[in-house]
Amino acid sequence: MSPSARERLIEAKKWLADNPGESQSAAAKIFKVNKSTLNMSILRGDLGPCGGQNKILTISQEKAVYAFIKSYLENRQVLTKEIVFKAIYFVQKQYGKPSPSFN
């Protein structure tokens, strides 16, 4: 089974790191990847892990907001983005934390 394009790109980057005297063109030919793709991958660098950095509520606060949403829905009331935002704002305000922006 032949390696995927992503695997070949990773191998080409490793090979270039191990052989600094070689050109990107040579690596692209050896590993059968597009030269511009290899170049952009090197320029961009490795991407860090995505997500997980934007937590604004603790687990207990999150459960409180979920309970609020559940009670709202059980009473057959229309729930909007603004109502959920205000609930989160209220929870944050009680703990003295800055409120999230509304986008």
For residue range 48-82, list pLDDT tens digits in order: 666 666 677 888 888 989 999 999 999 999 989 99
Task: Look at the chain and report how many structural domains it folds into.
Answer: 2
Least confident window among 10-24, 29-43, 45-59, 81-95? 45-59
* 40 and 70 assigned to the same domain: no
Residues in the chain: 103
* 11 and 39 assigned to the same domain: yes
Pair 99, 93: CB distance under 8 Å: yes
For the cut 80, the answer to whether the pLDDT of residue 33 exceeds it is: yes
**Is residue 52 included in any domain, yes or no?**
no
pLDDT number for residue 101? 67
Query: Which pLDDT band holds residue 90 (cuts at 50, 70, 90)?
Result: confident
